[in-house]
A and B are shown apart, each in its own frame.
Chain A
């Protein structure tokens, strides 16, 4: 049996009376790059919020390195080594670029990533390190958001729509950096609207549709027609 970082079994998630996820099953093996695609409102962000502990679920519905974390508080989940690069970057506006990075490392996990490593990966951030995070361009803010997550030296990193609202050339450079980032034994889960991008970077893909898994398979072995069907629910 392969070494599973994350096992999700029958995950339901609710916002009040509204049910966003219906019995999601998903496994993520150590070191793999998994993509999650789906239309707006399919439940992709809800899934990431559930994994990272921002939404409470049945404790056994999410297992991380074999231990149940479904009902665990987000700050404790973070300390176990799950980091989220949130949709829309969500940097701390009151913190400088460097403070945003440093606070990401505050969980105190050992590993390859430190301030100097982040600055080597994104040299522009070193130049701007004392500026308020809000003064950066969208692409630079995304670098800070990724760097902030890496500073935690996570085992599992979750990327939520990192291409959203960025210029194509920036998206390209961020995706080029991704294999270097995840190559260091880290497991990654990527939520992405850009299907081609998601398929090219990942080894396996899940498609969500209205809160359910509508397709699962190797990223190389799925046809466009299958994806359209899983994406929109049309036949």
Chain B
């Protein structure tokens, strides 16, 4: 039963990792951009949420109303202002620029908020739990997982059922020909970054309610996100959710064996899957 409990808790934790990963997966899928600053953008969203809750005196979940659009606008400006200029045949410039961005965000957060760990106060939500068949499940992890499923379903729907998603796929397939369809790729890339950072905002706020955070933890969130994307298979959003769940379960089982093994066992499972299935478990090969 304890082990079963660990699996369930891990699966719920995987929802958070899937939220870390969804934005990464989206922008890589649309424009082949590997965003090293993704983890720091998650942390930035958490700090934005903290400020909004403190200044307006509202619940952290209500802060989403401000933080999600703010991050989306920031994403569009970031993409059109800086990142579009780095995209081309060479994968290196966007890597270097987003790495620089990561350093800048970390240091700016350090200047503004100091290195002290912070946490958002969500009141009862943090401790509430429900009993299900002998298991005690936290309401927050359940909520996080449900949000992850909704976000992935929403992204999936956007990608395959809307004109915007059609434009994303067309630009991803062939930028030149997409331009001939009257699509301005710089604008489409801006919209995809906006959507990715809107998801990042949700991830950041849920992270900030769940655990304490400080400006340095972005790198770790980036790694978890990458691992979830790659376990699930590039370009497959539901695969990303599965990847997050596998990573979460591996970590909680590892922690069950020995608390020191939590992070390591997640990485080990990732490495094993990478070795056995280099394209991930559910790759969607396109083109």
Contacts and interface: CB of A to CB of B under 8 A. Distances in A.
Our verdict on whether A and B bind, yes or no, reads yes
Interface of A: 52-54, 73-75, 78-79, 83-84, 86, 90, 92-95, 99, 102-104, 106-108, 148, 152
Contact of A53 (B170, B178, B179, B181): B179
Closest 7 pairs (CB-CB, A-B): A107-B182, A74-B179, A94-B169, A78-B182, A92-B173, A93-B287, A75-B184
A170 B286 CA distance: 27
Nearest to B171: A92
Contacts of B172: 94
B contact face: mostly helix, strand, loop, or mixed: helix
A92 B182 contact: no
A92 B169 contact: yes
A17 to B, nearest CB: 17
A107 B287 contact: no
A95 B169 CA distance: 7
Interface in B230-287: 286-287
Nearest to B159: A94
A150 to B, nearest CB: 13
B174 interface: yes
Contacts of B185: 75
A102 B166 contact: yes
B169 A86 contact: no
Interface residues of B, number: 20
B1 interface: no
A94 B287 contact: yes
A86 B287 CA distance: 17
B180 A92 contact: no
Contact of B183 (A75, A94, A99): A75
B209 interface: no
Most chain A C-beta atoms within 10 Å of own C-beta, residue among B176, B180, B181, B287 = B180
19 contacts: A53-B179, A74-B176, A75-B184, A75-B185, A86-B177, A90-B174, A90-B177, A93-B173, A93-B286, A94-B172, A94-B286, A102-B166, A103-B167, A106-B163, A106-B181, A107-B182, A148-B181, A152-B181, A152-B182
Nearest to A78: B182
A99 B166 contact: yes
Contacts of A74: 176, 179-180
A140 to B, nearest CB: 18
Nearest to A84: B180
A99 B169 CA distance: 10
Contact of A92 (B163, B170, B179, B184): B170
B184 A106 contact: no
Nearest to A145: B177
A75 B189 CA distance: 14
A86 B184 CA distance: 18
A99 to B, nearest CB: 6
